[in-house]
């Protein structure tokens, strides 16, 4: 049975080196797992030792000393395989074809899900952690992600924990990802932790996709309406205005309003929609740099008609799911709350999370703060209170996250159902007003002619 040299990590994240006999790498991974160790890399000793042992024997039989041979013979002889040679070939293969500087671009949630799933499957299949990371860095089409994986691999080989290596890239691996990985390292269940991370990211991607898909139709209709009305005001209405002025007759009120609007649009008013868009992005920029404005903005955005409820539910769902995933993974409740706070993204809800943190520190639990908050539904408070009494907080939070996922989807469908006829009515009113403003003077002209 072959013997393998391995590098493994224990529950404290310390690197441990040793050797064991195993049928294959998968069996070795199982043996280490039964000892509470997580295999980082391994190499069969037999393939390294055999050539090294053969050389001295051959030299001895020829009557020469063990490693003495002419310099020309040494240069012509193949180099003895060794761990150093394996390491050199490994590092050369690993860096071949990669950029030396960090590429530009971004990593989507979908790419992160695929990476996490592949890593979990590879480890479960018995592949060493190092080999799995190397394979994914070489086969990844996203240059930024491939470069990042290579950096993580270098840090792991240098002796860092996997979670520490991930934390060096906060633009790709958020705090939640790093905390879940750290919990998997400490508990010795890294593949399961990676699966839970992938499930969390998939839920997050699905929720964002539903909201984006629901907003596509209203945005498209609004853009089309804006383009149509702007075109009528800039090109069609002025043609009729010349005719109306030549009549030198009093015009009805709708026509006068239409003429004023057309004049405003021709003098630069058609830029008004672009101004609103620019103001929105400017507000987002101020929100990112000025704390006072961000507090005001975040409080008002939750009170928006129609959209405020959906946004509140989406934030609460993200918070509950993050907290549930971390707590179920064995992360301490206070650390779980700190990480979950960072994924909220709204100062108003973050303030509630801070109160929950203080309440838990004082031993009062989570539910009293949720009961007092006007943003959290009473159902959440009731369920959390039940979980605290029965000691099933992770299970309760997971069920609540699934429930509010469905609630957000239902709210988005309701909003879309409401907005479709509303936008059609608005379009009909605008077009009807324009037609009425143009046709009323025409009817009066025909009456005068008669």
- Are residues 374 and 355 part of one domain? yes
| Residue 79 domain-assigned (yes or no) | no
| Residue 351 domain-assigned (yes or no) | yes
- Are residues 213 and 178 part of one domain? no
Domain boundary among 202, 235, 256: 202
CATH number at residue 146: 1.20.81.30
Alpha-carbon distance of 270 to 424, in angstroms, equals 22
Domain boundary among 153, 174, 202: 202
Contact criterion met (CB below 8 Å) for 119 and 136: yes
The secondary structure of 393-446 as a DSSP string is: HHHHHHHHHHHHHHHHHHHHHHHHHHHHHHHHHHHHHHHHHHHHHHHHHHHHHH
Q: Which of 201, 199, 208, 109 is nearest to 412 (CA)?
A: 208
Domain count, the chain: 3
Alpha-carbon distance of 289 to 280, in angstroms, equals 15
Alpha-carbon distance of 154 to 203, in angstroms, equals 31
Domain boundary among 54, 79, 98: 54
- Are residues 235 and 127 part of one domain? no
- Are residues 393 and 275 part of one domain? yes
- Are residues 241 and 345 part of one domain? yes
- Are residues 114 and 2 part of one domain? no
| Residue 326 domain-assigned (yes or no) | yes
- Are residues 255 and 196 part of one domain? no
| Residue 36 domain-assigned (yes or no) | yes
- Are residues 256 and 272 part of one domain? yes
Q: Which H or E run includes 4?
A: strand 3-9
Torsions phi, psi for 51 (to 5 deg): -65, -35
> pLDDT (tens digit, 0 to 9) for every residue of the chain, 450 residues total?
778 777 666 655 566 778 888 877 777 777 777 777 766 666 777 544 444 444 433 333 333 333 333 333 333 334 444 444 444 444 444 444 555 677 778 888 888 888 888 888 888 777 777 888 888 888 778 888 888 888 888 888 888 888 888 888 888 888 888 888 887 777 677 788 888 888 888 888 887 787 777 777 777 877 888 888 888 888 888 887 777 777 776 777 888 888 888 888 888 877 887 888 899 889 888 988 888 898 999 999 898 887 888 888 888 888 888 888 888 777 788 888 888 888 888 899 999 999 999 988 888 888 889 999 888 988 888 988 888 888 788 888 888 888 888 888 888 888 778 877 888 888 888 888 888 888 877 776 666 665
| Residue 122 domain-assigned (yes or no) | yes
- Are residues 247 and 273 part of one domain? yes
Query: Containing domain of residue 23, as a range?
Result: 1-54
Alpha-carbon distance of 323 to 85, in angstroms, equals 46
- Are residues 407 and 382 part of one domain? yes
| Residue 69 domain-assigned (yes or no) | no
Alpha-carbon distance of 412 to 310, in angstroms, equals 7
- Are residues 441 and 426 part of one domain? yes
| Residue 70 domain-assigned (yes or no) | no
| Residue 82 domain-assigned (yes or no) | no
Alpha-carbon distance of 325 to 314, in angstroms, equals 16
- Are residues 215 and 189 part of one domain? no
């Amino acid at each position: 049975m072959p013997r393998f040299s391995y590098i493994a990590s224990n529950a404290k994240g310390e690197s441990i080196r040793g050797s064991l006999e195993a049928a294959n790498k998968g069996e070795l991974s199982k043996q280490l797992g039964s000892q509470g160790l997580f295999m980082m890399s391994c190499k069969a000793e037999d393939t390294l030792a055999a050539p090294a042992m053969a050389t001295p024997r051959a030299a001895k039989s020829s009557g020469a000393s063990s490693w003495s041979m002419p310099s020309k013979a040494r240069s012509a002889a193949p180099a003895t395989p060794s761990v150093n040679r394996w390491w050199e070939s490994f590092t050369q293969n690993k860096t071949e074809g990669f950029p030396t500087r960090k590429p530009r671009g971004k990593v989507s949630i979908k790419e992160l899900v695929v990476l996490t799933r592949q890593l979990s499957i590879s480890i479960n299949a018995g592949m060493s952690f190092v080999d799995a990371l190397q394979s994914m860095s070489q086969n990844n089409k996203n240059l930024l992600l491939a470069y990042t994986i290579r950096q993580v691999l270098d840090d792991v080989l240098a002796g860092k924990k996997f979670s520490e290596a991930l934390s060096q890239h906060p633009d790709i691996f958020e705090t939640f990802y790093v905390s879940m990985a750290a919990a998997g390292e400490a508990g010795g269940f890294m593949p399961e932790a990676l699966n839970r991370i992938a499930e969390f990211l998939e839920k997050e991607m699905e929720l964002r996709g539903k909201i984006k898909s629901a907003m596509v139709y209203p945005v498209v209709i609004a853009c089309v309406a804006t383009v149509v009305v702007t075109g009528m005001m800039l090109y069609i209405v002025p043609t009729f205005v010349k005719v109306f002025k030549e009549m030198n007759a009093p015009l009805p009120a709708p026509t006068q309003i239409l003429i004023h609007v057309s004049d405003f649009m021709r003098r630069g008013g058609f830029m008004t929609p672009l101004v609103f868009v620019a103001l929105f992005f400017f507000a987002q920029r101020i929100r990112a740099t000025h704390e006072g404005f961000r507090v005001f903005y975040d409080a008002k955005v939750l009170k928006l008609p129609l959209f405020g409820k959906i946004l509140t539910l989406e934030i609460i769902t993200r918070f509950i799911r993050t907290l549930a995933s971390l707590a179920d993974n064995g992360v301490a409740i206070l650390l779980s709350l700190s990480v979950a706070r960072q994924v909220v993204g709204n100062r108003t809800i973050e303030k509630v999370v801070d109160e929950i943190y203080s309440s838990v520190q004082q031993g009062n639990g989570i539910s009293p703060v949720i009961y007092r908050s006007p943003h959290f539904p009473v159902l959440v408070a009731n369920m959390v209170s039940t979980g605290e009494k029965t000691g099933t907080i992770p299970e309760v939070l997971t069920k609540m996250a699934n429930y509010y996922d469905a609630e957000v989807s239902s709210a988005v469908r309701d909003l879309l159902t409401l907005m479709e006829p509303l936008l059609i009515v608005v379009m009909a009113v605008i077009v009807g007003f324009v037609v009425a403003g143009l046709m009323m003077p025409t009817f009066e002209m025909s009456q005068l002619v008669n």
